[in-house]
């Protein structure tokens, strides 16, 4: 048996049909690391009169998953399907382009997909089933377009063999040069808004979305809880940036759009990502230098809009028809 060299510890995923039933992890993501680890909650007991413990009881045993990577127009579909739900994509014309629309139900459960994750090498491997993404944070700026996140799942199983010959998508990365930021006073106004000229970064995060419940005699159960949904926008302290102070003080809503447009897929359809959301400002960062420009960062609570009927919409046009 060879050494467990870190460089060869591959991770693969599979989309489960049923909670509780592992599936072959037949997909290998090339722009994303999905790394499971063992998490336990244990007690140790020390008898009266002794100074050393008598024993340890392991009460809870589950998998915690770290997710990091570069945002692409195709691989992110797998993570969003677990965090939110898996939509049926709409073919664009008679081409190989498909539009995936990701939403979240404000007052109901999202039917997120459970994942089986395998990790290891030819020497030994392990897996975690029933993994759900608990959160993702998307970062957009001129230095990177990336994401990080976390997930929760069942206890790690050892002694497995990695699923052979997993398939991979050719990553279609979202480049910083693909990005544009927009803000408007109304949702309809986003369509005619001009791209911001002094927006430096936008971070959007939906985190802490799920939890594990622990009924006696059963495996842990994934349940949704109240998540954290917010964005952070850094922009120059010009008339646009300082003008948002009045927006904050009035409690008004601003509509935001992150748009990325990549290469042509077919006909008039390009790789495209568009994230729209209404938000109200909840905090203001300090004024500071940003590459020689005096800038400020606004923290925004992303809110549900009653007329629109949702808190955000994420549309991705790509060449993937099915997961």
Chain mean position to CA 279: 19
Residues 6 or more apart whose Cβ sits within 8 Å of residue 306: none
Between CA 88 and CA 153 the distance in angstroms is 25
Give the chain's count of helices (H) and strands (E): 2, 19
Q: What angle do CA 217, 222, 227 make, to 5 degrees?
A: 145
Between CA 134 and CA 223 the distance in angstroms is 10
pLDDT, residue 253, reads: 97
CB 317 within 8 A of CB 265: yes
What mean pLDDT is predicted for residues 240-254? 96
pTM summary value? 0.94
pLDDT, residue 219, reads: 86
- Averaged pLDDT of the chain: 96
* DSSP type of residue 155: P
What mean pLDDT is predicted for residues 57-73? 97
pLDDT digits (tens, 9 = 90+) for 29-59: 999 999 999 999 999 999 999 999 999 999 9
Q: Tokens representing 157? A: 């199983």
Residue 275 has pLDDT above 90, yes or no: yes
CB 205 within 8 A of CB 138: yes
pLDDT, residue 68, reads: 97
Give the model's confidence band at 1: pLDDT under 50 very low, under 70 low, under 90 confident, else very high: low
* Nearest Cα residue to 63 out of 129, 135, 108, 123: 129
The H or E element containing residue 123 is none
pLDDT, residue 201, reads: 97
* C-alpha torsion sign, points 95, 321, 265, 316: positive
The residue assigned the tokens 């693969």 is: 12
Residue 3 has pLDDT above 90, yes or no: no
Between CA 318 and CA 271 the distance in angstroms is 5
The residue assigned the tokens 């790789």 is: 271
Residue 256 has pLDDT above 90, yes or no: yes
* C-alpha torsion sign, points 263, 266, 268, 273: negative
- Diameter of the chain by CA atoms? 80
162 CB neighbour count, 10 Å cutoff = 21
CB 112 within 8 A of CB 84: yes
Between CA 190 and CA 184 the distance in angstroms is 5
pLDDT, residue 4, reads: 85
Share of the chain above pLDDT 90, in %: 96
Q: Average the pLDDT over each of 76-90, 128-142, 212-226 and give the range with the smallest value.
A: 212-226
Between CA 21 and CA 36 the distance in angstroms is 18
Phi/psi for 211 (5° steps) reads: -145, 165
Between CA 301 and CA 228 the distance in angstroms is 9
CB 145 within 8 A of CB 260: yes
* Nearest Cα residue to 255 out of 316, 201, 308, 178: 308
Residue 295 has pLDDT above 70, yes or no: yes
Give the model's confidence band at 155: pLDDT under 50 very low, under 70 low, under 90 confident, else very high: very high
């Amino acid at each position: 048996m060879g050494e467990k060299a870190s460089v060869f510890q591959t991770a693969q995923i599979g989309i489960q049909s049923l909670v509780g039933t592992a599936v072959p992890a037949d997909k290998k993501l090339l722009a994303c690391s999905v790394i499971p680890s063992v998490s336990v909650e244990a007690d140790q007991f020390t008898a009266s009169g002794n100074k050393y413990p008598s024993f340890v009881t392991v009460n809870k045993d589950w998998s915690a998953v770290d997710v990091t990577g570069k945002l692409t127009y195709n691989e992110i579909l797998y993570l969003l399907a677990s965090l939110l739900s898996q939509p049926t994509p709409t073919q664009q014309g008679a081409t190989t382009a498909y539009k995936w629309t990701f939403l979240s139900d404000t007052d109901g459960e999202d039917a997120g997909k459970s994942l089986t994750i395998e990790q290891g090498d030819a020497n030994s491997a392990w897996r975690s089933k029933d993994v759900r993404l608990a959160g993702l944070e998307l970062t957009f700026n001129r230095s990177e377009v990336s994401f990080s996140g976390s997930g929760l799942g069942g206890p790690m199983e050892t002694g497995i063999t990695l699923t052979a010959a997993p398939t991979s998508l050719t990553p279609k990365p979202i480049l910083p040069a693909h990005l544009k930021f927009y803000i408007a006073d109304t949702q309809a106004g986003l369509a005619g808004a001009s791209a911001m000229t002094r927006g430096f970064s936008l971070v959007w995060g939906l985190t802490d979305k799920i939890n594990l419940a622990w009924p006696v005699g059963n495996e842990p159960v994934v349940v949704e809880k109240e998540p954290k949904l917010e964005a952070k926008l850094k922009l120059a302290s010009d008339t646009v940036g300082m003008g948002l102070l009045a927006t904050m003080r009035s409690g008004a809503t601003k509509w935001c759009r992150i748009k990325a447009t990549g290469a042509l897929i077919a006909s008039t359809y390009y790789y495209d990502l568009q994230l729209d959301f209404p938000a109200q400002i909840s905090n203001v960062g300090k004024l500071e230098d940003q590459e020689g420009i005096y800038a400020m960062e606004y923290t925004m609570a992303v809110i549900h809009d009653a007329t629109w009927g949702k808190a955000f919409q994420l549309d991705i046009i790509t060449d993937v028809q099915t997961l």
